[in-house]
Amino acid sequence: MPNAPRGDKPLRSRPDERSTTSAQNTTRNPTPTRDPVEGQALACDLDNVIMTVGLSKTFPGGIRAVEALDLTVAAGEIFGLLGPNGAGKTTTVGMLSTRVVPSAGNACVGGVDVVAQPALAKQAIGVVAQSNTLDRSLTVWENLYYHCRYFGLDKGAARARADELLEQFHLADRAKADVYALSGGMAQRLMVARSISHRPHILFLDEPTAGLDPQSRLALWEILRELHGEGLTVLLTTHYMEEADQLCDRVAIMDHGRILALDTPAGLKASVGAATIARVATTGDPAALAAALTAGLGEGARAEIGDGVVTVYLKGGDGVVPRIVAHAEAGGFAITDLSVSEPTLETVFITLTGKELRE
């Protein structure tokens, strides 16, 4: 079942591994070299379309962008790297797509060691970079046509493929247009069309919907779901938790170059240990309200106080609002604001890092 998400346990990086890698990082040359693999290259297996072992990147100046990343992505998955700006997501995609040379560790993509055989690995991957990398000297159609030619399609096949993709991505009426003339959403569609035109095994998308209007974002999600349906493996980075939640089979939450948690979106949300989260504001003492609510709401309820607001985590979700109101009134507290939600990946991120996901 290529499309089935893997039921891996949440993966947390171990401190002992981290320290070894840090030591290696300081001793290894951070500037790119032709072949930084020392010793044995990784034996790449075909079960995992993407596999990294201890993958690390330290940029000149000692900036540790990614530290000891261990990751496996199965064929047909949509895998998300979720984290704030500067978490190391783009560097990770850069290493997997051969443009960033790792400082340590190994990575296989499509069964090819990306460090030892970058040129071969490029055959297996399609990349949608964060910025608009369309060929500005060519038309919309030519962008697709020449990309196909780079990847070995002959003249006729490349023509047919370019036509087909323009239809599929609703860009046919723009075929002869300059890429300058495209809106942000159209340019992004063309980038995705181009990245899959040579039928790669894996598609990397780096912040694919950043800067897109909501409509274009939904359209792109639809496209990615279709590609997923066709069995394409997708690795995307995002700092939008809805995107990771809605689109991905599994999500790795990243911060400061490390994976903090890895699971299905449902699994991650369950890891918060609550089905319902209520935020209660009062004119009275928040600490006293928190105590009254945890006592009153019973087993499993726990409360936190931040910015004068009491956040209550509850196992169950039925009748939460009247129960909270009842317990608060019974304790003599006046409620000024009350909101109830289910846990989101944002909640997971806050629980893990103590800070919010957005910039």
Partner 1 sequence: MSVVANVETRRAMGFRPTRAAGLIAFWALLLRDLRVLQKTIVVFAIRTVMQPLLLVFVFTYVFPKIGQGVGGSSQSEASFSTLLMAGVVGTSMIFQGVQAVALPLVQEFGYTREIEDRVMAPMPVWGVAVEKIAAGAVQALIAGLVVFPLAAVIPATPVHLHVHWVFLLTIAPIAAVLSAALGLTMGTRVKPQQVPLLFAIVVLPITFLGAVYYPWAALAPIRWLQVLVLVNPLVYMCEGFRLSLTSGVQHMPIWAIYAGMIGFTVVLTWVGIDGFRRRVLS
Binding interface with partner 1 (CB under 8 A): 32, 43-48, 59, 94, 97-101, 108, 110-112, 117-120, 122-125, 127, 129, 131-138, 142, 146-147, 149-152, 194, 199, 201
Interacting residues of 93 by C-beta distance below 8 A, sequence separation 6+: 81, 127, 204, 206, 235, 237
CA 61, 67, 72, 77 torsion-angle sign = negative
Q: In the bound complex, what is the minimum distance in angstroms from residue 117's beta carbon to partner 1?
A: 7
State in angstroms the smallest separation of the CB of 187 from partner 1.
11
From the CB of 119, what's the least distance to partner 1, in Å?
Answer: 5
Q: Is the CB of 5 or the CB of 94 nearer to partner 1?
A: 94
CB of 48 to partner 1, least distance (A): 8
Tokens of 171: 């860009």
Smallest gap from residue 162 Cβ to partner 1 (A) = 13
Least distance CB 129 / partner 1 (angstroms): 5
What is the largest distance, in Å, between two alpha-carbon atoms of the chain? 79
Closer of 67 and 245 to partner 1 (Cβ): 67
Nearest of 107, 111, 134, 137 to residue 124 by alpha carbon:
111
Residue 95's SS3 state is helix
DSSP-based three-state secondary structure for 8: coil
Nearer to partner 1, 120 or 335 (CB): 120
Nearer to partner 1, 110 or 267 (CB): 110
Kindly give the interhelix angle for 140-150 and 184-196, rounded to the nearest 10 degrees. Answer: 20
Return the number of the residue (122 or 323) whose C-beta is nearest partner 1.
122
Q: Which is nearer to partner 1, 138 or 350 (CB)?
A: 138
CA–CA distance, 10 with 343 (Å, rounded to integer): 17
Q: Shortest approach of partner 1 to residue 283 CB, angstroms?
A: 52
| DSSP β-ladder status, 78-82 and 250-255 | parallel
Q: Which helix (H) or strand (E) holds 302?
A: strand 302-306
Closest C-alpha among 243, 207, 212, 198 to residue 225? 243
**Complex with partner 1: residue 130 or 264, whichever CB lies closer:** 130
